[in-house]
C-alpha cells in the first residue's frame, strides 16, 4: 500500500474519532509540525502548547479536509494560524510601524542580501535559535514571509497591520539576524 493510501486510511479513522488513528497521525506529523510551532514560539513549552492546540483543531475539523488538496499543507496552515492566534492572545507582539525603519538599509555591510541568504544554510539548530531570539513581531513576519511564503499583503491582512509595517518588521528581523550571524562568525574566527 502506498503512502497516500495509508494516509487516507488514517484520515478516515480520525474522522471516525478512532484513537489509534489519531495517535498514528500525531506521530507521523509531530516533528514537522513541532518545527513550525518552534519557529513562532519563544521556548519549547510554548511550542508544545501551540502544537497541542493545533492537533485539537486538526482532529476537530478533519472531516472538513477536502482530499483533492495536500493534507500536509492543510495541517501546516492550521499550526501557523494557531501560532498566530496564540501571539495575538498573548498581546506580546508589537509591530514596528513602516516609518520607523528604512527598508533599503536592511542589507548593509558586512553582509549583503545574497550573502545573508547563503548564511541561512547554517545548521538548523543555529538558524532556529537565531529566529527564536527575534522579538515575537519580527519572528512572526519573518516566518510568514520567508518560510511560509506569504506576501506582505497577505501578512498584513492576517495580522491586521499595513503592508509597510509588514515590510518594516521583515527588514528589522533580517537586520537582527544579520547581527546574530555576524556575531556567530566572529566567535568562530576567534
Give the pLDDT confidence score for residue 58 in this predicted structure: 97
Place of cell 513576519: 141
Measured in whole angstroms, the distance separating CA 15 from the mean position of its chain's CA atoms is 27
pLDDT, average across residues 57-75? 92
pLDDT, average across residues 147-155? 91
Indicate the range of 40-49, 65-74, 104-113, 169-178 predicted with least confidence: 104-113
CA 81/CA 142 separation, integer angstroms: 15
Check whether 116 has a pLDDT greater than 60.
Answer: no
pLDDT band at 128 (very low <50, low <70, confident <90, very high): confident
Place of cell 471516525: 16
pLDDT band at 93 (very low <50, low <70, confident <90, very high): low
Task: Give the chain's domains with CATH numbers.
Answer: 3-83 (1.10.1740.10), 98-189 (1.10.10.10)
**What is the CB neighbour count within 10 angstroms for residue 40?**
23
Give the pLDDT confidence score for residue 112 in this predicted structure: 52
How would you class 116 by CB atoms within 10 Å of its CB: exposed for 0-12, middle for 13-18, buried for 19 or more? middle
pLDDT, average across residues 180-185? 78
Q: Name the more confident of 40 and 114.
A: 40
Q: Name the more confident of 42 and 111.
A: 42
pLDDT, average across residues 39-59? 93
Check whether 100 has a pLDDT greater than 60.
Answer: no
Amino acid at each position: 500500500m502506498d503512502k497516500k493510501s495509508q494516509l487516507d486510511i488514517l484520515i478516515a479513522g480520525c474522522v471516525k474519532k478512532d484513537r489509534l488513528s489519531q495517535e498514528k497521525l500525531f506521530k507521523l506529523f509531530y516533528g514537522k509540525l513541532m518545527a513550525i510551532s518552534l519557529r513562532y514560539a519563544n521556548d519549547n513549552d510554548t511550542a508544545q502548547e501551540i502544537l497541542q492546540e493545533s492537533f485539537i483543531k486538526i482532529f476537530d475539523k478533519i472531516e472538513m479536509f477536502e482530499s483533492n488538496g495536500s493534507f500536509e499543507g492543510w495541517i501546516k496552515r492550521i499550526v501557523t494560524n494557531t501560532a498566530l492566534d496564540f501571539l495575538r492572545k498573548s498581546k506580546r507582539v508589537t509591530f514596528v510601524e513602516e516609518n520607523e525603519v528604512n527598508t533599503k538599509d536592511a542589507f548593509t555591510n558586512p553582509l549583503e542580501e545574497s550573502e545573508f541568504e547563503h548564511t541561512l544554510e547554517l545548521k538548523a539548530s543555529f538558524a532556529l535559535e537565531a529566529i527564536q531570539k527575534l522579538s515575537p513581531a519580527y519572528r512572526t513576519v519573518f516566518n510568514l514571509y520567508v518560510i511560509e511564503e506569504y506576501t506582505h499583503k497577505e501578512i498584513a491582512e492576517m495580522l491586521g497591520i499595513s503592508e509597510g509595517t509588514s515590510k518594516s518588521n521583515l527588514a528589522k528581523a533580517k537586520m537582527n539576524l544579520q547581527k546574530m550571524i555576524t556575531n556567530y562568525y566572529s566567535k568562530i574566527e576567534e
